Structure 1
Amino acid sequence: MTSPRTRWIGLVVISVAVALIIVDSTIVNVAIPSIVDELALTSTQVQWVQESYTLVFAALLLVFGTLADRFGRRRMLLIGITIFALSSVVAALAPTGEALIASRVVQGVGGAMILPTTLSIINSTFRGRDRGIAFAVWGSTIGGMAAVGPLLGGWLTTDFSWRWAFGINVPLGVLVVIGALLFVLESRAEHPVKVDLVGAALSVVASASLVFGLIEGRSYGWWVARPDLAFGDWAWPFAISPIPIAFAVSAAGIAGFIAWGLHRQRIGRSTMLDFSLFRIPSFRNGNIAALLVSLGEFGIILSLPLWLQNVLGYDALQTGWVIVALAAGSFVASGAAGSTSGRIAPVWVVRAGIGSEIIGLLLIAWVISVDTPWWQIVIGLFVYGFGVGLATAQLTGVILVDVPVSRSGQASGTQSTSRQVGSALGIAVLGTVLFSSLGTEMDSRLGDLPDAEREQVVSLVVDSAGSAIPALDAQSPEAADAAREAFSDATRWSALAAAGFLAVGLLATLSLGSGRAARDDEPDTLESADRPA
């Protein structure tokens, strides 16, 4: 049993642990253009720098949620923070794009250990109205640290190097480890289950092949293989592209995952996904809404830093000041959401948040041009961030409100997986929208150029994720202007696509009903199913 004071200090510690993930993500977004310049990343590699982390993160959340219940939640948190910090050192020293992507994969492993564990700790430690407040504090801390991330990353990238943007994770990780050892009580499930390794493998295959197809489709050909398609020295021997094959593998993996899980459940064995949880309406409908919302929620952050630096000419620190408007809106909204706990049904807060996100994205899409003043983007980002804060602070509580504490680890992992799968798909889809639109828009604007020259300029801009635009000024000002206009239009299309996904997510929340504000009838103690170690 923890004292109330220790319990709330522990909440701050685990919130900062999650904020470590958020800071890393926002720093990477701001630093991407500098990374592209130094490591000569292609546009596809830019997507993979983000996607490799998110994909591994999503694929392993269920595994580590279950392992945390079995071996100890605080222990899993400490291991995850250690892995995350050490892989950040490798990322900071990466000599090539491939090495950076590999380090991001390992960071994804550490992040997958951290997130479901923190949610499970909150769910097993707090009861009644305190639980709603705890989730709001968790979200507010994330919002505050998210505000620090763009500025910290912009400052480090501008005055030092993008490599320090990864190195900063080490001292933060040390602080979290010390705080967790002092203020977070160890807990685990009374009757832990074994990990379903086959189910885990099927989920990884399904998600990895789907994201691979979405990202690489424009490079390999969506249906017919590109004539020069090769993997190293091995030339692709088939007329059909690898992409439809990847989609088929993903579909088979999803079907196999469901069939295998239902089979193990029928014979009384543990499964990666507890399908019986989906009999709980709030859990089932909440996960569907979370996945759809996450498809559009952060995709714009892939394109905006590239657009701000390569089209408007901002440096990384100036970009950080613009992006911080999103985090400021999120921080304000998360605090406001906490004050509504017990008075307004959380599902209505979620709906208001998603609506604000859509309005913010539409504002951004409306004002984007080659000479947009910074304050117009800031207004849209603040409104968008305000919506993110409202939705994030309450959607987790809506999903977990009726879940028994003894199954909180797997339930937390499941809802986190839904959101991360949505985020992974969002990055893949919106990144493809951005770069495909960029190529199409540039091709139409450079119609007066000879075919060979036009293809060369388009490939240069698209493959460099826009970082070649400033250099084009010295060679062909007309082509540079066309590239800026095309990148602005492509960023607008990406914002509109994100708004479309969010609109579908908003419709999905209509199936959630009014929901309950909290489980007030529960005692403020740990249940026997979640005993301290």
Structure 2
Amino acid sequence: MTGARRRWLGLVFISIAVALIIVDSTIVNVAIPSIIDDLDITSTQVQWVQESYTLVFAALLLVFGTLADRYGRRRILLTGVVIFALASVLAAMAQTGDLLIAARLVQGIGGAMVLPTTLSLINATFRGRDRGIAFAIWGSTIGGMVAVGPLLGGWLTTYFSWRWAFGINVPLGILIVAGILVFVSESRDAGEPRRIDGVGAVLSVITSATLVFGLIEGRTYGWWLTETAPTLGDWTWPFNLSIIPVAFLVTLVSGTAFIRWGLRRQRQGKSTLLAFSLFRIPSFRNGNIAALIVSLGEFGIILSLPLWLQNVLGYDALQTGFVLLALAIGSFVASGVAGALGNRVSPLTIVRVGIVAEILGVAGLGTVITVDATWLSIVPFLFVYGMGVGLATAQLTGVVLGDVPVDQSGQGSGTSSTARQIGSALGIAVLGTVLFTSVGLSLDARLAELEVPAATSAQIVDVVVDSAGAAIPSLDAQSPAVADAAREAFSEGTRYSAYAAAGFLVVGLLASLRLTGRPLEREELPVTAEVAG
């Protein structure tokens, strides 16, 4: 087998590994109602089933990106896939909500080992024009899997069990491990591994974890004053000041300490978790800023759209998955378009075209989101949105890492992935706040027009918002007029959420103007990594 063919076959299994962790981050959304019925979990546990994975995932990306550079990218990738598959078994067999949450936490560890190593393996394996195509395939896989996740989850949940939404990861994990061992070569930094910066690792985890926790949980616990007191066992948060500002203060202190500690070690010639010198590279520095901002709006609509499709339009989980499949198709088409453009168009131009397509797609969705909408009016905009995701995600990654030396690609990709995850977490927090605040205000106003008593109105608003719209169908039996008002309000909130996402993408497009793009096939960077067959 030729070396070129082996590399491309290796990319197939690298992409499947990315698909594994991305699908799992979205597949749970459509399975949650069945999980609630089966395990009788509380609303707080529902939140943690969805969010514990993201929290651990984002907190550990940078750590594992650095470890991969030093101890072997393929080794860390394989370890992550095995951990992820074993945790999936625990999730599939969980008999309580707490056990499911614990399994999701372990899945987050495995996922954090997989994502940055796939990026750094591509960066180390492919050069020139091939690298651009490989990044396009990698990015389109992410975009496509965001839509395939709900479809697969809907099918498994409808015809089998929610447990298979996790169990499906086991055969996929075995396939990935076999393919990586056969077709992907090991690569690592040249020379003996240096001693890991333990203090930097701890500070990095604290910074990422507290920031993501604050962004995700702000709407629940209160952004400034305590609205819902967090509990841990028998202990309850006793202060009027919310835990969220405290979390952000810890983020600020630990983040500052992380930077100061890293710069000090760098001046002493010691190893650091993050290669701070990378931020002297304009494409890396400005590209990460743009990636973070774009991520604020990139996938936010995918969180609210399934809720609207099921609770307002009355689609089931599988039908919702089919509608979202348009996004996947658009993303995969974008992969072919990016590959066909090759050397004729710069990666940065493709990034900007992709962001523009995302803006048009998301804003277009906002214009058609009504209680009378049909899938025919939704699918075209989802396709355009998917095209934009496929074009922008991969090529922006290529721009960010294009000038990063191969021996620091794990650190670079870990930083890039962390920036995206933090951006996504902020987007989830902000767009979630826009959605549910808008729904609450709109429904309250509509119920006032129906002359519903204030106390009853407050109860209805709380039920609709707290259930994320799931209570809307049950309102029909009590009062069709109230149910219609709830559908109108939820449609309005979803529409505002879409417009907010489009606004973030506009800011991301403006941020991309600070980038100076050059084709990826420019002069080759010196290869300093050791590659072992």
TM range (shorter): over 0.9
TM-score for the superposition, normalised by structure 1: 0.93
Is contact 2:434-2:496 (8 Å) kept? yes
Which residue number corresponds to residue 384 of structure 1? 385
Which residue number corresponds to residue 284 of structure 1? 285
Report the CA distance shift for 1:214/1:15 in structure 2 as closer, same or farther (over 3 A): closer
**In 2, distance between residues paired with 1:389 and 1:294?**
13
Aligned-pair distance for 1:176? 0.4
2:448 matched to 1:440?
no
Is contact 2:22-2:145 (8 Å) kept? yes
| 3-state DSSP of counterpart to 2:188 | strand
Is contact 2:294-2:505 (8 Å) kept? yes
Which residue number corresponds to residue 102 of structure 1? 102
| 3-state DSSP of counterpart to 2:289 | helix
2:417 matched to 1:412?
no
Which residue number corresponds to residue 334 of structure 1? 335
Which residue number corresponds to residue 21 of structure 2? 21
Is contact 2:288-2:416 (8 Å) kept? yes
| 3-state DSSP of counterpart to 1:467 | coil
**In 1, distance between residues paired with 2:358 and 2:34?**
28
Which residue number corresponds to residue 272 of structure 1? 273
Which residue number corresponds to residue 454 of structure 1? 457
Which residue number corresponds to residue 496 of structure 2? 493
Decide which moves more: 215-224 or 59-68.
215-224
Deviations 1:466-511 (A, max 9, x none): 1111112112323222221121111112111111111111111000
Which residue number corresponds to residue 210 of structure 1? 211
Is contact 1:188-1:531 (8 Å) kept? yes
**In 2, distance between residues paired with 1:89 and 1:352?**
41
Is contact 1:12-1:141 (8 Å) kept? no
Report the CA distance shift for 1:234/1:75 in structure 2 as closer, same or farther (over 3 A): closer
Deviations 1:19-61 (A, max 9, x none): 1122223322333444455556666655543332222212111
Aligned-pair distance for 1:435? 2.2
Is contact 2:153-2:162 (8 Å) kept? yes
Which residue number corresponds to residue 373 of structure 1? 374
Decide which moves more: 66-75 or 346-355.
66-75
2:515 matched to 1:512?
yes
Deviations 1:201-240 (A, max 9, x none): 2222223223333333333333233487766544543332
Which residue number corresponds to residue 250 of structure 1? 251
| 3-state DSSP of counterpart to 1:239 | coil
Which residue number corresponds to residue 169 of structure 1? 169
2:324 matched to 1:323?
yes
Aligned-pair distance for 1:432? 2.5
Deviations 1:227-281 (A, max 9, x none): 8776654454333222222222222222222222222222222222211001011
**In 2, distance between residues paired with 1:230 and 1:463?**
18
**In 2, distance between residues paired with 1:437 and 1:420?**
25
Is contact 1:65-1:409 (8 Å) kept? yes
Deviations 1:360-416 (A, max 9, x none): 111111111112111111111111111000001211111111111111111111111
| 3-state DSSP of counterpart to 1:342 | helix
Which residue number corresponds to residue 151 of structure 1? 151
Is contact 2:331-2:388 (8 Å) kept? yes
2:124 matched to 1:124?
yes
**In 1, distance between residues paired with 2:36 and 2:444?**
23
Decide which moves more: 381-390 or 116-125.
116-125
2:183 matched to 1:183?
yes
Q: Work out the percentage of aligned pairs sharing the same amino acid.
A: 70
Aligned-pair distance for 1:4? 2.0
**In 2, distance between residues paired with 1:93 and 1:141?**
28
| 3-state DSSP of counterpart to 2:344 | coil
Is contact 1:44-1:463 (8 Å) kept? no
Is contact 2:185-2:531 (8 Å) kept? no
**In 1, distance between residues paired with 2:482 and 2:42?**
20
- 2:477 pairs, out of 453, 467, 474, with 474
Decide which moves more: 358-367 or 255-264.
255-264
Is contact 2:144-2:327 (8 Å) kept? no
**In 1, distance between residues paired with 2:3 and 2:227?**
64
Is contact 2:357-2:384 (8 Å) kept? yes
| 3-state DSSP of counterpart to 1:341 | helix
2:86 matched to 1:83?
no
Aligned-pair distance for 1:289? 0.6
Report the CA distance shift for 1:105/1:67 in structure 2 as closer, same or farther (over 3 A): same
Report the CA distance shift for 1:348/1:42 in structure 2 as closer, same or farther (over 3 A): farther
**In 2, distance between residues paired with 1:78 and 1:394?**
26
| 3-state DSSP of counterpart to 1:513 | coil
Decide which moves more: 130-139 or 370-379.
130-139
**In 1, distance between residues paired with 2:182 and 2:229?**
58
Which ranges of structure 2 fall in alignment gaps of 5 or more residues?
A: none
| 3-state DSSP of counterpart to 1:178 | helix
**In 1, distance between residues paired with 2:194 and 2:49?**
34
For the aligned residues, what is the CA RMSD?
2.3
**In 1, distance between residues paired with 2:5 and 2:82?**
26
